[in-house]
Amino acid sequence: MLTAPDLLLTRSDMSDPRLYCPEKLINGARLQLGRDESHYLISVMRRREGEKVRLFNAEDGEWSAVVTAADRKQATLDVAGQLRPPAKVPDLDLLFAPVKKNRTDFIVEKATELGVRAIRPVITHRTIAGKVRTDRLRALAKEAAEQTERLDLPEIADAVQLDTCLSDWPSGRPLIFCDEAGDAPLMPDALAGLADGGVSILIGPEGGFSPEERERIRALPSSVPVSLGPRILRADTAAVAALTLFQALRGDWAARAQAREN
């Protein structure tokens, strides 16, 4: 299990807006924001010269910065000091069959908030969504990360066929298969038997996997079929339920609770 450090922020710091910044964050650096980020910071968040902003990325952690030019087309920030060191989320991937647009957006947003490392769309026999716009999903994930205090962005992979995904599956990596058939063990019981390490969670489409797909997934040596309970859940609900259970029992929620007990 991977733990995130306790927040090193004051209440005042936490009221400052957060922006993802791919550029190197070091003391004294001067950064010029792009048009979209500048508009958001100056026109939407109404930051003015001399006011603070938080910047973050996976390599450098989170830093405080000061607005030195409040231009809504190209704002300038001076990096002032580190607030939190870099911290990794658990090695947890979500594989899901794209659904209707708003529900796919919801899945990506909530997976980001729940600390998923990578989000991987897979196309199944019953997938009804059209083209998967990964550029849009990356933008949604960025916004969610800025709102949720995580220090990195999840990887958003291009959509692949389920058959291709299973053929290329890395040996030994558990694939937690949320199986709606009802004959799998409950997810908490299944997780108890897993060794520590990276895992992936697979959520099916509306209408579920086809019988052939279920058979192939279950035949994968590292497949771990699980049940999410007695009711059939919508795909977006199932994704949130499965990720919440994992984080509470085996992820960084559990690790944080153990650290506090010790």
The whole-model pTM stands at: 0.88
DSSP string of 188-201, one letter each residue:
HHHHHTPPSS-EEE
With 0-12 CB in 10 A as exposed, 13-18 as middle and 19+ as buried, what is 42? buried
State how far Cα 11 lies from the chain centre.
25
pLDDT of residue 223: 96
Where do the domains of the chain lie, and which CATH numbers do they carry?
11-84 (2.40.240.20), 92-259 (3.40.1280.10)
pLDDT in tens, 129-165: 778 999 999 999 999 999 999 999 999 999 999 999 9
Close Cβ partners of 262 (under 8 Å, ≥ 6 residues apart): none
pLDDT of residue 158: 95
pLDDT of residue 207: 86
pLDDT interval class at 83 (50, 70, 90): very high
- Residues 46-55, mean pLDDT to the nearest whole number: 94
Close Cβ partners of 227 (under 8 Å, ≥ 6 residues apart): 178, 179, 182, 183, 184, 185, 186, 187
**Average pLDDT over all residues of the chain:** 90
Q: Is the pLDDT of residue 252 over 90?
A: no
pLDDT in tens, 59-71: 999 999 999 999 8
pLDDT interval class at 51 (50, 70, 90): very high
pLDDT top residue among 239 and 14? 239
pLDDT of residue 4: 40
- Residues 41-67, mean pLDDT to the nearest whole number: 95
pLDDT of residue 3: 39
Q: Which two tokens stand for residue 141?
A: 């994930």
pLDDT in tens, 194-222: 988 999 999 999 888 999 999 999 999 99
Q: Are strands 52-57 and 61-69 parallel, antiparallel or unpaired?
A: antiparallel
- Give whole-number Cα distances, 145 to 68, 89, 138, 152, 154, in Å: 25, 12, 10, 7, 8
Q: Where is average pLDDT lowest: 7-16, 176-185, 235-244?
A: 7-16
**DSSP, res 104:** H
pLDDT of residue 13: 63
